[in-house]
């Protein structure tokens, strides 16, 4: 076995590989860029080597620097994680030349599968069913229109070198083919430096279901069941699970055997994933093979009990797989939620900044957190804004979902926006509960984007009662201050007025409480009456604790509670509620406070995200019709077209092509 390995990656996956290496008694070397100087993976590794500037192209993607770091630290093998150099055949070859082991497949398999057109042809030859379409390069727009008509609408235009859901467009008619072809080609060129695009049939109501394969150098290739990754936004996975609620044993076996056949056709070694698209009739078609560890591999680990990173390392060291196909057993149900630093209320725009407070849920039998950040760390603009992967396991899907909801409630993140409200909303949907998934799930369940209305219905009584009890505890502590003038001590009321502030509206609730008296450092709980409802609360919450973990009317509950300069901000089930707790007199005075309405920004086109202004299509004085393109902003390798929401005349254009934009920066103004 290796004595020392280097991890050519960052973030959660670097941390995850280090954990397994440590368990195996292998020393670890981390590499890092300027921006990652203080990153968690650097802290966790035995050694760390600085490899360059913050942009990945100037550090994590430079093959020579990684090789130099290996030589310098005498690392015998490299784990590439996912993304970066993981599917780069030049990297594999360069390592081989230096006799450093690549913990992954050989260059030949990476090359064959790295290109979507080539791999599709290969799969077809290996007897794997592929999506009907044209397996060649599209020459120009006219060619694209001709092929699309032959394949039959709707079609999918795809960059052959694509990945991460980029360079892909659906077209439902000839004019969409035109726009889609241009966009896909330009995106493919800027993201992958390769503008080849091909066309295949768009499978309606598709599910994304993939098979994990594992192979050693002794001719053993097995599959470890499937993962369903249908909950996607813009073709990028958000929630994954294993097994799939849709797949029966027969389909699983058929998909597994085709995946194994494909792996064998390219002499595959190590862990890999064969992705399929599955239609409503359980017909499945090959999409692509990812020749690396997949982001969502933890759900497979949770249901098989295997450590995929350990097996990758063992296989790379020449060991035989410790199990045969018959030895693969699936146990229970696992879910994964990708926690991203993005603002779900603003069309999921990436949010960067410092994690001012960061407390992931406690791990255990039911909860696994793969994270690459810690409190005080930064989510930078340079890399993927994923904060963590939150996985839950339970005996069945329903229980795993309940565990996920509880774990999301306990995930405490401050300083950057995150998608937990959105994830909580998905978990609460009836359609999710029923397992009626498709890659259109998000588009269909959130036709107008995500908003507060999509959150699970809240019973505010519980949150109001908890806020009143917490406030009462604070007030009691203040009332106990020493040196008070006798006879002038504070008199504690037994009824508080809780004001719920929401969308500029204020609702007042008188709350009568009877707290447990014997607690000095927090609350033990108590009884609260909100209107006609009586709530019994139990908790060992202490002063200042960010999480209120307890029971309300006998049901376990976790609420995040922030004490604000005035009032409280509580979070539960994805919702945020601002509450003020007043005495009767304070409430009376608060009613007299003036309200300042927010300024009207509807006349401005603001950049919805930080990015590059590729072009401004509108000119000063121009008349614009709703739906017309105003500007194109590039961010996260995606070109975002900003269209007019209604008719109007452009008064002033503030920015020119090539400008670098901050979020909310004014691009132009209407009359």
User: Do residues 608 and 659 make contact, with C-beta atoms less than 8 angstroms apart?
Assistant: no
The item of Mg ion, ligand ADP, none sharing an interface with residue 206, based on CB under 5 to 8 Å by kind, is ligand ADP
By beta-carbon proximity to ligand ADP, the closer residue of 202 and 246 is 202
By beta-carbon proximity to ligand ADP, the closer residue of 298 and 515 is 298
Q: What x/- string results for residues 249 through 278 when contact with Mg ion is judged by CB under 5 A?
A: --------------------------x---
Q: What x/- string results for residues 113 through 152 when contact with ligand ADP is judged by CB under 6 A?
A: ------------------x---------------------
Distance CA 97, CA 375 (A): 41
By beta-carbon proximity to ligand ADP, the closer residue of 203 and 211 is 203
Question: Which region, judged by CB under 6 A, interacts with ligand ADP, from 231-239, 485-493, 550-558, 621-629?
Answer: 231-239
**308-316 vs 11-23: helix axis angle to the nearest 10?**
70
User: Do residues 85 and 91 make contact, with C-beta atoms less than 8 angstroms apart?
Assistant: yes
DSSP 51-110: EE-SSGGGTTT-HHHHHHHHHHHT--EEE--SSTTTT-HHHHHHHHHTTPEESS--HHHH
| Distance in Å from the first CA to the final CA of the chain | 71
Q: What x/- string results for residues 407 through 446 when contact with ligand ADP is judged by CB under 6 A?
A: --------------------------------x-------
Q: Which residue is nearest to ligand ADP, using beta carbons?
A: 163
Question: Which region, judged by CB under 6 A, interacts with ligand ADP, from 141-149, 158-166, 264-272, 607-615?
Answer: 158-166
The item of ligand ADP, Mg ion, none sharing an interface with residue 200, based on CB under 5 to 8 Å by kind, is ligand ADP
Of 35, 49, 238, 277, the one binding ligand ADP (CB under 6 A) is 277
By beta-carbon proximity to ligand ADP, the closer residue of 11 and 515 is 11
HSE, side-chain direction, 13 A CA sphere, residue 541: 31
DSSP secondary structure letter of residue 657: T
Alpha-carbon distances of 113 from 13, 281, 310, 572, 573, rounded to whole Å: 22, 27, 23, 44, 41
Residue 416, phi then psi, degrees to nearest 5: -130, 155
- Total of residues contacting ligand ADP (CB under 6 A): 30
Q: Is 98 a catalytic residue?
A: no
Distance CA 310, CA 586 (A): 61
Q: How far is the CB of 156 from ligand ADP (least distance, A)?
A: 4
- Cis geometry, peptide bond prior to residue 243 (ω within 30 degrees of 0): yes
Burial state string for 111-131 with b = 16 or more CB within 10 A and e = fewer than 16: bbbbbbbebbebbeebebebb
Neighbouring-strand partners of residue 661: 611
Q: What x/- string results for residues 167 through 186 when contact with ligand ADP is judged by CB under 6 A?
A: -x------------------
- Per-residue tokens: 203: 């499978």
The item of ligand ADP, Mg ion, none sharing an interface with residue 156, based on CB under 5 to 8 Å by kind, is ligand ADP
- Per-residue tokens: 217: 């150098």
Interface with ligand ADP, residue 156, by CB under 6 A: yes
Distance CA 159, CA 168 (A): 6
Q: How far is the CB of 291 from ligand ADP (least distance, A)?
A: 11
By beta-carbon proximity to Mg ion, the closer residue of 289 and 650 is 289
Q: How far is the CB of 191 from ligand ADP (least distance, A)?
A: 6
Strands 575-582 and 568-572: antiparallel
By beta-carbon proximity to Mg ion, the closer residue of 290 and 560 is 290
CB proximity list for 279: less than 8 A, separation 6 or greater:
203, 204, 205, 206, 207, 285
Question: Which region, judged by CB under 6 A, interacts with ligand ADP, from 161-169, 177-185, 498-506, 552-560?
Answer: 161-169
**Alpha helices (H) along 248-395:** 249-265, 297-304, 308-316
By beta-carbon proximity to ligand ADP, the closer residue of 117 and 617 is 117
Q: How far is the CB of 261 from Mg ion (least distance, A)?
A: 19
Interface with ligand ADP, residue 275, by CB under 6 A: yes
The item of ligand ADP, Mg ion, none sharing an interface with residue 45, based on CB under 5 to 8 Å by kind, is none
Which listed residue (187, 228, 241, 288) is catalytic? 288
The item of ligand ADP, Mg ion, none sharing an interface with residue 439, based on CB under 5 to 8 Å by kind, is ligand ADP
Alpha-carbon distances of 233 from 165, 278, 382, 413, 626, rounded to whole Å: 9, 17, 21, 22, 25
188-207 residues near ligand ADP, rule: CB under 6 A:
192, 200-203, 206
Measured CA angle at 578 (ends 573, 584), to 5 deg = 130
Question: Which region, judged by CB under 6 A, interacts with ligand ADP, from 120-128, 284-292, 358-366, 611-619?
Answer: 284-292
- Per-residue tokens: 312: 């990758």
- Total of residues contacting Mg ion (CB under 5 A): 1
Task: Residue 421: name the closest of 578, 559, 560, 574 by CA.
Answer: 574
43-102 residues near ligand ADP, rule: CB under 6 A:
82-83
Q: How many Å is the Cα radius of gyration of the chain? A: 28
Residue 177, phi then psi, degrees to nearest 5: -65, -45
Of 52, 55, 136, 163, the one binding ligand ADP (CB under 6 A) is 163
Q: How far is the CB of 424 from Mg ion (least distance, A)?
A: 26
593-612 residues near ligand ADP, rule: CB under 6 A:
none
The item of ligand ADP, Mg ion, none sharing an interface with residue 165, based on CB under 5 to 8 Å by kind, is ligand ADP
Task: Residue 466: name the closest of 366, 570, 317, 607 by CA.
Answer: 570
Q: Which residues bind Mg ion (CB under 5 A)?
A: 275
Q: Which residues bind ligand ADP (CB under 6 A)?
A: 82-83, 131, 156, 162-165, 168, 192, 200-203, 206, 208, 232, 235-237, 275, 277, 287-288, 290, 294-296, 384, 439
Instruction: Name the residues annotated as catalytic.
Output: 288
């Amino acid at each position: 076995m290796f004595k020392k390995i280097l991890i050519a990656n960052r973030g959660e996956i670097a941390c995850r590989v280090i954990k397994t290496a440590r368990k195996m008694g292998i020393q670890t070397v981390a590499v890092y860029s300027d921006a990652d100087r203080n990153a968690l993976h650097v802290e966790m590794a035995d050694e760390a080597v600085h490899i360059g500037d913050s942009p990945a192209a100037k550090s994590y993607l430079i093959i020579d620097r990684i090789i130099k770091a290996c030589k310098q630290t005498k690392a015998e093998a490299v784990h590439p994680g996912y993304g970066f150099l993981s599917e780069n055949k030049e990297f594999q070859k360069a390592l081989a030349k230096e006799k450093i082991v690549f913990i992954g497949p050989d260059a030949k398999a990476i090359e064959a599968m790295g290109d979507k057109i080539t791999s599709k042809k290969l799969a077809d030859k290996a007897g794997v069913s592929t999506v009907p379409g044209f397996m060649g390069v599209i020459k120009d727009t006219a060619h694209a229109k001709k092929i699309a008509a032959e394949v039959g609408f709707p079609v999918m235009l795809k960059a052959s070198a694509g990945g991460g859901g980029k360079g892909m467009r659906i077209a439902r008619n000839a004019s969409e083919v035109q726009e889609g072809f241009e966009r896909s080609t330009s995106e493919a060129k800027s993201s992958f430096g390769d503008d080849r695009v091909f066309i295949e049939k768009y499978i309606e109501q598709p599910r994304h279901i993939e098979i994990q394969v594992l192979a050693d150098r002794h001719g053993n290739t097995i599959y470890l069941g499937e993962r369903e990754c249908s909950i996607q936004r813009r073709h990028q996975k958000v929630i994954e699970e294993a097994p799939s609620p849709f797949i029966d044993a027969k389909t699983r076996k058929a998909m597994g055997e085709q995946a194994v056949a494909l792996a064998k056709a390219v002499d595959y070694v190590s862990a890999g994933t064969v992705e399929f698209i599955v239609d409503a009739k359980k017909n499945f078609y090959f999409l692509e093979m990812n020749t690396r560890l997949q982001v969502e591999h933890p759900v497979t680990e949770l249901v098989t009990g295997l450590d995929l990173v350990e097996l990758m390392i063992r296989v790379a060291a020449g060991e035989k797989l410790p199990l045969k196909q018959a030895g693969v057993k699936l146990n229970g149900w696992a879910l994964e939620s990708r926690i991203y630093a993005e603002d779900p209320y603003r069309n999921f725009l990436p949010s960067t900044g410092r994690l001012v407070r960061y407390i992931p849920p406690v791990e255990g039998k039911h909860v696994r957190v793969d994270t690459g950040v810690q409190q005080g760390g930064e989510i930078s603009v340079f890399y993927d804004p994923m904060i963590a992967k939150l996985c839950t396991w339970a005996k069945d899907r329903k229980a795993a979902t309940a565990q996920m909801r509880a774990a999301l409630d306990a995930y405490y993140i401050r300083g950057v926006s995150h998608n937990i409200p959105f994830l909580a909303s998905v978990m609460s949907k009836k359609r999710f509960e029923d397992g009626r998934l498709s890659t259109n799930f998000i588009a269909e369940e959130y036709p107008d984007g995500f908003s507060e209305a999509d959150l699970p219905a809240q019973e505010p009584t519980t949150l109001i009662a908890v806020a009143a009890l917490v406030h009462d505890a604070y007030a009691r502590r203040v009332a106990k201050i020493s040196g008070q003038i006798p006879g002038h001590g504070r008199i504690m009321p037994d009824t508080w007025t809780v004001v719920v502030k929401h969308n500029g509206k204020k609702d007042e609730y008188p709350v009568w409480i009877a707290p447990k008296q014997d607690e000095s450092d927090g609350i033990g709980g108590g009884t609260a009456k909100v209107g006609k409802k009586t709530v019994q609360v139990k908790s060992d919450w202490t002063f200042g604790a960010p999480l209120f973990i307890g029971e309300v009317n006998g049901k376990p509950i976790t609420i995040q509670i922030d004490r604000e300069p005035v009032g409280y901000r509580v979070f539960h089930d994805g919702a945020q509620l601002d509450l003020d707790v007043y005495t009767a007199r304070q409430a009376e005075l608060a009613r007299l406070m003036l309200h300042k309405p927010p300024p009207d920004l509807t006349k401005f086109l603001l950049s919805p995200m930080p990015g590059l202004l590729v072009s401004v299509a509108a000119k000063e004085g121009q008349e614009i019709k709703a739906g017309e393109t105003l500007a194109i902003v590039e961010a996260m390798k995606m070109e975002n077209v900003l269209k007019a929401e209604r008719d109007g005349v452009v008064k002033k254009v503030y920015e020119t092509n090539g400008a670098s934009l901050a979020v909310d920066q004014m691009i132009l103004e209407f009359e």
